[in-house]
Chain A
Amino acid sequence: GQSLEQPSEVTAVEGAIVQINCTYQTSGFYGLSWYQQHDGGAPTFLSYNALDGLEETGRFSSFLSRSDSYGYLLLQELQMKDSASYFCASRGGASASGGSYIPTFGRGTSLIVHP
């Protein structure tokens, strides 16, 4: 099975930098994805790390350390519109149904950005 742990809530002010951590335990692991979800909306894909290191996409960066079973999402120059839930998801092996490459989502981190 797979489980991912992330903080339930993070608060920060506009313009700041915030890091959302994710630790995982999986029976098989191929990579870590990050998704953003605004209230009432669908998740949108942010980034994916298959290898160790930092991936940068504009204001957002994502990091993975396979040896530590750990990753994080870094958000820079925070804006009010960044207030949302952020989910890490592992691209693991077989799910309970036996399918492969099925992602398992963490519980999500609610990011609250204050003016």
Chain B
Amino acid sequence: GAVVSQHPSWVICKSGTSVKIECRSLDFQATTMFWYRQFPKQSLMLMATSNEGSKATYEQGVEKDKFLINHASLTLSTLTVTSAHPEDSSFYICSAREKTLELAGFSYEQYFGPGTRLTVT
């Protein structure tokens, strides 16, 4: 089955530093990857859509200079939280849509990574 990995699974960093989170599709090519943020007991909030070879599109209220997204290949997207602050502490989850399914029109299913828990002290 389609597997998406994230690295690291958890990270603790000091306020003001930057953190990079990787999202990889292990056994399929992903045309589109999504980045979500989830606070405890809350829903998944879409932050941005990452398309291979083009700039990410950000949702309203998400600072593109703070959350840098790079989708360099069909199997890798990265999210860098720059100048992290305690309020950025959250669970960050990526998901991917399979290229062949998307081209065929079956683009409703997303494969989620295991998530990265970020704690900023």
Task: List chain A positions with a Cβ less than 8 A from chain B.
Answer: 30-31, 33, 35, 40-45, 48, 50, 87, 91, 95-99, 101-108, 110
Contacts and interface: CB of A to CB of B under 8 A. Distances in A.
A42 B49 contact: no
Interface of B: 34, 41-46, 48-49, 57-60, 93, 95, 107-115, 117
Contacts of A45: 109-112
Contacts, number: 61
B108 A30 contact: yes
A102 B107 CA distance: 10
A98 B43 contact: no
Contacts of A35: 112
B57 A97 contact: yes
* Max chain A C-beta neighbours (<10 A), residue from B46, B48, B93: B46
B59 A107 contact: no
